[in-house]
Amino acid sequence: MSNIRVLDEKTAGKIAAGEVIERPAGVLKELLENAVDAGATCINVDIEGSGKDLIRINDNGCGMSAEDLELSVLRHATSKIRAFDDLENLHTFGFRGEALYSVAAVSRMTLTSCEEGGNGNRIELHAGKVVLKSPAPSIKGTTVEIRNLFYNTPARLKFLKSDSYERACLLKVIEESALANLSVAYRVTVNGREVYNLPAENGPLASAVPARAKAILGEEVSQSLVFKEFEEMGLKLFLTPADKLVSVRDMQYVFVNRRPIDSKTVQQAIYKAYQNVRPKDRHPAFISYMTLSPADFDVNIHPQKRDIRFVNENKVFGFIMHAAGETVFQNARPVEVGVAAPSVDLPPAAQPAAEKLFVGEPVRPQSSGNTFMSAAAFSPAVSKPDFAPKPGFLMRETEEPVDYVARPVAPAPAEEIPSPDLQSPVREEAPAAADLTAAGEPAWYRGPYHYLGQLQKSYLLFENPLGLVLIDQHAAQERVLFEHYLDAFDKRDVKVQKLLFPIHVDL
């Protein structure tokens, strides 16, 4: 007995959408849904060009008999429902019986199918008309080939976008299908090159989704996904934490009963959960699975079945917002700093002054006025340690807590505290007294300076009465910023921003 039946006019009229295939991605979506509905565990997809030349899908599903094969390309012929009321208990992706009919009308289609233990059959259609029927190998499953898409409708062909854009749409459809059906293996080739080879993931959802998402979202994003499951609405959320947001919006997937959907309700609820921690140019990557009763939402509002209407939109919004917030903040962690500041061992004589560094005003190198061109900045005799505080660098526990500016601390002798100026890789002797001016500056410091040019995009060349002066422009910029920050600290005008997630430090 045939599994596919043509719906009566009354039922067909209630669900008819007059579906129009707009682009190759729409064809691929319908064919993938049919393969999954047929119980396939392995799906092979071959694409040529941007999908206009060829879309071929082969699956190992239940297959069709010769009778069902002919019925499948008729309008409103489906095995999914028998009456309109069946939509209240719908557990398949397709149900209207319009997909194959619509695709066949704008392409050259070849259908090959075989039931388990039956004989294989093939049917070929051009612009919706059967032009060939023939036997085929008895291999369980179905193969659908779509060639020359829109060859008879040049108006639709004209409105297609670039080949790269259409291919991106095709791959997006495959990615959604792969994330929705984890137990199905996918192999995808584009112009003969393998793009995806995804084995079936039959493990627990918490491990299966990141494993499959690795090939789709990338290793870094997939490993950062945080999983949380909620009994209400059968919600299962995979979210990136607040410190792992991405710069694009195309890493967001929403599934209701394994059906990929575009839901502003769900998307806005998740964004609401991130509202206090998300920069404007960053976006969460997420995969949301919901399992609802078919009576709780309506999928029959758009031909492509991408948009659905929840019976209680406000309830869905509120629940997902709180669930996403709970998932994000319960798994919040401080941002990791990739490179730790190196510590240095200070000379013993300098240690007492270092311990009081934060008690009084900040220790600042003495300057002769122009700190940018100071003698310390260019003297090779002075080395620069990295001022990363060690335990002794902080205030002692026995000392009384004070404000930033409590009492002045006498500056330590120059020979006891290493200068925080630029470091030279080779230590040389300090300039002789005869080489210094009355202000204590090197003789070559005297101006005026005449700018000559730039060397290797790294050094600035100046001429003064004594000769040529080379300045490392990167080190010079660092010095300018250093002086700027010291000046801001002196004026208590330091711009600060609280950490998103506090870092606990044991003192």
Q: What is the CATH number of the domain that holds 179?
A: 3.30.565.10
Tell me, yes or no, whether 169 and 225 share the same domain: no
Which of the four pLDDT bands, split at 50, 70 and 90, describes residue 441? low
Residue 191's closest CA among 170, 221, 177, 173? 170
Residue 247's closest CA among 280, 283, 216, 285? 283
Tell me, yes or no, whether 56 and 155 share the same domain: yes
Q: Minimum mean pLDDT among 220-229, 263-272, 368-377: which range?
A: 368-377
Which of the four pLDDT bands, split at 50, 70 and 90, describes residue 92? low
Tell me, yes or no, whether 164 and 228 share the same domain: no
Q: What is the pLDDT of residue 164?
A: 93
Distance CA 110, CA 131 (A): 10
pLDDT digits (tens, 9 = 90+) for 49-83: 999 999 999 999 999 999 888 888 887 666 555 45
Query: Is residue 134 within a helix (H) or strand (E), and if so which, with residue range?
Result: strand 129-136
- Looking at the domain assignment, is residue 428 inside a domain? yes
Handedness of CA 387, 390, 392, 395 (dihedral sign): positive
Tell me, yes or no, whether 167 and 23 share the same domain: yes
- Look up tokens 């939109």; give the residue: 313
Q: Is the pLDDT of residue 18 over 90?
A: no
Concatenating the DSSP letter of every residue in 440-479 gives S-BGGG-S--EEEEEETTTEEEEEETTEEEEEEHHHHHHH
Distance CA 79, CA 96 (A): 9
DSSP 246: B
- Looking at the domain assignment, is residue 500 inside a domain? no
Is 405 within 8 Å of 361 (Cβ atoms)? yes
pLDDT digits (tens, 9 = 90+) for 147-182: 999 998 888 888 899 999 999 999 999 999 999 999
Tell me, yes or no, whether 290 and 170 share the same domain: no
Tell me, yes or no, whether 129 and 27 share the same domain: yes
- Contacts of residue 488, defined as CB under 8 A and 6 or more positions apart, other chains included, come to 494, 495
Final residue in a domain of this structure, among 168, 200, 232? 200
Q: What is the pLDDT of residue 246?
A: 94
- Looking at the domain assignment, is residue 246 inside a domain? yes
Distance CA 73, CA 125 (A): 9
Output 38 or 439, whichever has higher pLDDT: 38
Output 492 or 376, whichever has higher pLDDT: 492
Cα atoms found within 13 Å of the Cα of residue 217, Cβ hemisphere only: 32
Distance CA 422, CA 472 (A): 11
Q: What is the pLDDT of residue 163?
A: 93
- Looking at the domain assignment, is residue 6 inside a domain? yes
Q: What is the pLDDT of residue 14?
A: 38
- Looking at the domain assignment, is residue 93 inside a domain? yes
Final residue in a domain of this structure, among 200, 231, 252? 200
- Contacts of residue 37, defined as CB under 8 A and 6 or more positions apart, other chains included, come to 61, 80, 92, 93, 94
Tell me, yes or no, whether 193 and 235 share the same domain: no
Q: What is the pLDDT of residue 332?
A: 53
Output 120 or 359, whichever has higher pLDDT: 120
pLDDT digits (tens, 9 = 90+) for 237-294: 999 998 899 999 999 999 998 889 988 999 999 999 998 888 888 999 999 999 998 7
Tell me, yes or no, whether 191 and 51 share the same domain: yes
pLDDT digits (tens, 9 = 90+) for 315-334: 999 999 999 999 887 665 44
**pTM for this structure?**
0.62
Tell me, yes or no, whether 159 and 91 share the same domain: yes
Pairing between strand 252-256 and 259-261?
Answer: antiparallel
Cα 40 to its chain centre, rounded Å, is 30
Report phi then psi at 476, rounded to 5.
Answer: -65, -40
Tell me, yes or no, whether 416 and 466 share the same domain: yes
DSSP 137: -
Mean predicted lDDT score pLDDT of the chain: 76
Cα 215 to its chain centre, rounded Å, is 13
pLDDT digits (tens, 9 = 90+) for 386-425: 444 444 333 434 444 444 444 444 554 544 444 444 444 4
Q: What is the pLDDT of residue 341?
A: 41
Residue 228: domain span: 221-333
- Looking at the domain assignment, is residue 504 inside a domain? no
CATH number at residue 322: 3.30.230.10
Tell me, yes or no, whether 473 and 435 share the same domain: yes
Q: What is the pLDDT of residue 114?
A: 95
Average pLDDT (119-141) is: 94
Tell me, yes or no, whether 307 and 243 share the same domain: yes
Q: What is the pLDDT of residue 346?
A: 41
- Looking at the domain assignment, is residue 165 inside a domain? yes
Instruction: Specify the length of the chain in residues.
Output: 507
Q: What is the pLDDT of residue 77?
A: 65
Q: Is 102 helix (H, G, I), strand (E, B) or coil?
A: helix
Provide the number of structural domains found in the chain.
3
DSSP 327: H
Q: Minimum mean pLDDT among 85-89, 189-193, 243-247, 347-351: which range?
A: 347-351
Q: What is the pLDDT of residue 435?
A: 55
- Looking at the domain assignment, is residue 185 inside a domain? yes
Q: Minimum mean pLDDT among 131-135, 309-313, 462-466: which range?
A: 462-466
Q: Is 256 helix (H, G, I), strand (E, B) or coil?
A: strand
Query: CB neighbours (10 Å) of residue 471?
Result: 18
Q: What is the dihedral of CA 68, 74, 75, 81, to 10 degrees?
A: -10
Residue 114's closest CA among 144, 142, 73, 78? 142
